[in-house]
Amino acid sequence: MTQRMERDGLASQYSIAYSVGSGAHAVSYLIEVGNHLFESPLSYYAQFGWGISPGYENLKAPDFYRAVRPQCLFCHVGEALPIPGTLNAYRNPAFAAEAITCERCHGPTTAHLRNPVPGSIINPANLAPRARDSVCEQCHLGGEVPVPNPGKQVSDFHAGENLEDVFSVYVYQSSRDPTNPNPLTIISQSQQLALSQCARSSGDKLWCGTCHDPHALPKDPVAYFRARCLNCHGTALLTSHPKPNQNCLACHMPRLPAGRGGHTIFTDHRIAIYAPQELARLRAASSVNGSTPASSEDELVPWHNPPPQFAERNLGLAYARVGSELELLPFTRRGYQLLVSAWNDFPNDPVLLRAMGQIMSGTKQEADAEALYDKALAAEPNSTLLYYDKALAAEQAGDGNNAINYFEKTLQLDPWLVDPYQHLARLYTANAQLALAHETYIRFLKAFPESIEAKRDVFRGSGHSTPNKK
């Protein structure tokens, strides 16, 4: 597949390297530049046809260069091979396994292949409840933000472990109140199911696997799921239950309208009793794609507690990330306080140092931010991301020369980053170093020969107007 975009008389054209998603709701597309993966602004929706990819809606000038981070691939790929310290660089080839493998749910297979009998491999259904639920939650518990424990990556999780052994997912407190859950803060089936009376009243018996066979989709969903319900509720229910009661799902697990993108819930997993008006409202409401706190008092809480020694650090990181993403100052402040307090216990933790640095660099304390980044660099030398942050901090402090040095260092480590070229060219221009500014645009175009932005910048830098604008 080739995708092409035209704007202002300039064009950008790419061969698609990979597609993401089964297509039941949507397919997104990835391109490869250098050994870097980027998401195309075009996706295909089962309901709407071609459309702008989720997250691109509000961009005036969409381009092909949204970095595909390892986290996206952790949920959609068997095993991705990201290069540590980079935003979106991968080994060549980028994947040890493309489609989701047996290992993701059944754990390591070596012992089983040597001795292929039941018991030589994990059967998720037989795990202790927390580890069992974690198998599906590794991908199906979206939440607000996952925070890995010190020294861990999300991808270190393996079936058989509890999620919190590796990372904790933070959700809004308001999403957990079963009497009055805020629907705007619930963005995964795992969160909804936990609120259901079925889950709350059956101890640990009910889990995803009670209803879903991960190896096959049911041919007749109505009959298949009805049998699952009656396994617990018993056929005696049907005599006292209002009629008709053929399609349990239509009334208790209604289908919600599909939103744009793949990350909305389509089937209500709260398994509740709805009055007819409420059902009609649910089916008509626009579904949620991403969430915001219910009120200014809303708090972030871990889905399940991490080991106690990491609780403060992980919560601090959760507040810092959500605060920065949604530009919520009270969350950022809260994150900062927690991180300062946790710092004593994790003096050299590069993730904590970087998060604190990012908060500082927005507050006229760039010198402190730089010291934090330097400390983090001691633990992770040559991290592109740390040099990039350092450059931004220097730029914000008005220290153009250091900013130039660090942006140059960033690009020396990784020439396939888009933003540093633009910052750098602006800084050279401000310094009246026009030749260097022009050369920066040429390097930008060399790294991204198809970029409309880069083509335009080179034109502009050379004194020409863009071709179409007479």
Selected range binding ligand HEC among 206-214, 298-306, 308-316, 437-445, rule: CB under 6 A: 206-214
Q: Which of 16, 17, 72, 311 binds ligand HEC (CB under 6 A)?
A: 72
Q: Which of 11, 223, 227, 237 binds ligand HEC (CB under 6 A)?
A: 237
Q: Does 248 engage in binding with ligand HEC (CB under 6 A)?
A: yes
Q: Does 279 engage in binding with ligand HEC (CB under 6 A)?
A: no
- Nearest residue (CB) to ligand HEC, 59 versus 434: 59
Give the tokens for residue 84.
């540590």
Q: Does 75 engage in binding with ligand HEC (CB under 6 A)?
A: yes
- Nearest residue (CB) to ligand HEC, 165 versus 370: 165
Rg (CA), the chain: 25
Q: Which of 12, 25, 332, 416 binds ligand HEC (CB under 6 A)?
A: 25
Give the tokens for residue 336.
């900062």
In angstroms, the Cα distances linking 367 to 139, 182, 362, 364, 394 are 39, 42, 11, 8, 8
* Count of residues interacting with ligand HEC (CB under 6 A): 78
Find out whether 446 and 457 touch, Cβ atoms under 8 Å.
no
Q: Does 158 engage in binding with ligand HEC (CB under 6 A)?
A: no
Give the tokens for residue 40.
């195309």
Find out whether 69 and 59 touch, Cβ atoms under 8 Å.
no
Q: How would you classify residue 5: left for phi > 0, otherwise alpha for psi between -120 and 50, otherwise beta?
A: beta
Q: Does 110 engage in binding with ligand HEC (CB under 6 A)?
A: no
Which residue sits closest to ligand HEC, CB atoms considered? 262
Q: Which of 263, 313, 321, 354 binds ligand HEC (CB under 6 A)?
A: 263
Give the tokens for residue 288.
């949620």
Selected range binding ligand HEC among 224-232, 288-296, 397-405, 436-444, rule: CB under 6 A: 224-232
Task: State the minimum distance, in angstroms, from the CB of residue 335 to ligand HEC.
Answer: 21
> In 3D, which of 44, 36, 43, 41 has the Cα closest to residue 59?
41
C-beta atoms surrounding 209 within 10 Å: 16
Q: Does 277 engage in binding with ligand HEC (CB under 6 A)?
A: no
Q: Does 283 engage in binding with ligand HEC (CB under 6 A)?
A: no
Selected range binding ligand HEC among 179-187, 232-240, 393-401, 405-413, rule: CB under 6 A: 232-240
Q: Does 145 engage in binding with ligand HEC (CB under 6 A)?
A: no
Q: Does 289 engage in binding with ligand HEC (CB under 6 A)?
A: no
325 Cβ neighbours under 8 A, 6+ residues apart: none
Burial 432-467 (b: 16+ CB within 10 A, else e): eeeeebbebbebbbebbebbbbbbbbbbebeeeebe
Task: State the minimum distance, in angstroms, from the CB of residue 132 to ligand HEC.
Answer: 8
Q: What is the Cα–Cα distance from 333 to 118, expressed in whole angstroms?
A: 52
> In 3D, which of 376, 435, 437, 382 has the Cα closest to residue 404?
437
Selected range binding ligand HEC among 18-26, 354-362, 389-397, 403-411, rule: CB under 6 A: 18-26
User: In degrees rounded to 5, what are phi and psi of residue 134?
Assistant: -60, -30
Q: Which of 22, 47, 110, 348 binds ligand HEC (CB under 6 A)?
A: 22
What is the largest distance, in Å, between two alpha-carbon atoms of the chain? 84
Q: Does 122 engage in binding with ligand HEC (CB under 6 A)?
A: no
Residues in region 173-192 near ligand HEC by CB under 6 A: 189-190
Q: Does 111 engage in binding with ligand HEC (CB under 6 A)?
A: no
Task: State the minimum distance, in angstroms, from the CB of residue 305 to ligand HEC.
Answer: 19
Residues in region 333-372 near ligand HEC by CB under 6 A: none
Q: What is the Cα–Cα distance from 174 to 196, expressed in whole angstroms?
A: 15
The identity of residue 241, as a single letter, is H
Q: Does 201 engage in binding with ligand HEC (CB under 6 A)?
A: yes
Residues in region 39-58 near ligand HEC by CB under 6 A: 39
